[in-house]
Amino acid sequence: MDIHCIGTGGGRFCLTTQQRATGGFMIEHEDTSMYVDPGPGALVRGLDHGITFGSVDALFISHAHIDHYGDGEALIEAITQGCKNDRGHLITNEIVLEGQSDTSGVLSSYHRNHIGQTSMIDAEDIVDLEPWSLTVTATDHKDIQTNGFCAEIEGTTIGYIPDTSYTDDLIPQYRDADYLIINTLRPVDKDWKGHLNLEEAVNLVETIEPEKAFLQHFGMNFVTSFRTQVEWLQDYDPAVPITLCSDMTTYSLEDQGLEQFV
């Protein structure tokens, strides 16, 4: 079971400078794969990393911010072999698909019409991605509907916590996670409503107690103080192994010798 981290940056300044790439990640196990949050760069860097998009099974978009959907249409083209072969499963929420009040959805109807299947998700929905099962979660992110998941894959559960403020509501939703992937935009001492900082992400990990946690979607303040963040984490010495993920890197969950702080 692999997590392919294509772009581990997030927020407007990583997006516009690509100092950390913003392409999101893909989970793959045997013959099934799901690409998650294809921000700008997902297609180009994903190809560079060896992803065969024509066999990707599902595309999950957590919310309608560009660092999560920017390459969504390009990936739909790649998944459907240029919209010639209606295949793949788009899993996302109503705001991404339909917009809200004065906005439209963020994916063209052309592309929406060429994906094989679409699931419009809401909290607690269960999406069948045979042989995986996704339980949809909800987070608290700047008044825009934002959804993550717990993916149950042959007895192992991978939880994805997308952009969110710290809230106790997160804990029961991810209680069953064996592995956690957490968007951690902010460095340890910097709060910003709608986003977790490193200390909050570590608190979640220590409370939920997965086997391992992978932090990513770092904002520019995190990236420019990365060494300080690594040192803080080493000093904290969490009980659960926590990896600060790198761009263009595959993490195999079966690996025992996984480096703790990358």
Binding site for Zn ion (CB under 5 A): 10, 65, 67, 163
71 exposure class (CB count in 10 Å sphere: 0-12, 13-18, 19+) = buried
Quick one: 11 or 159, whose CB is closer to Zn ion?
A: 11
Quick one: 67 or 73, whose CB is closer to Zn ion?
A: 67
Smallest distance, Å, CB 32 to Zn ion? Answer: 25
Strand segments, DSSP code E, in 175-232 are: 179-183, 212-216
Are the C-beta atoms of residues 153 and 29 closer than 8 Å to each other? yes
Please tell me the chain's helix, strand, coil percentages from 3-state DSSP, rounded to the nearest 5.
25, 30, 40
- 3 state DSSP class of 30: coil
Please name which of 78, 164, 91, 162 lies closest in space to residue 128, comparing C-alpha atoms: 91
Smallest distance, Å, CB 177 to Zn ion? Answer: 20
Quick one: 152 or 200, whose CB is closer to Zn ion?
A: 200
Please work out, in degrees rounded to the nearest 5, the angle formed at the alpha carbon of residue 124 by the alpha carbons of 197 and 111: 85
Quick one: 114 or 141, whose CB is closer to Zn ion?
A: 141
Smallest distance, Å, CB 70 to Zn ion? Answer: 11
CA distance 73 to 96: 12
Quick one: 111 or 141, whose CB is closer to Zn ion?
A: 141
Quick one: 113 or 224, whose CB is closer to Zn ion?
A: 224
Smallest distance, Å, CB 242 to Zn ion? Answer: 20
Smallest distance, Å, CB 234 to Zn ion? Answer: 26
Smallest distance, Å, CB 64 to Zn ion? Answer: 8
Residue nearest to Zn ion (CB): 65
CA distance 2 to 146: 24
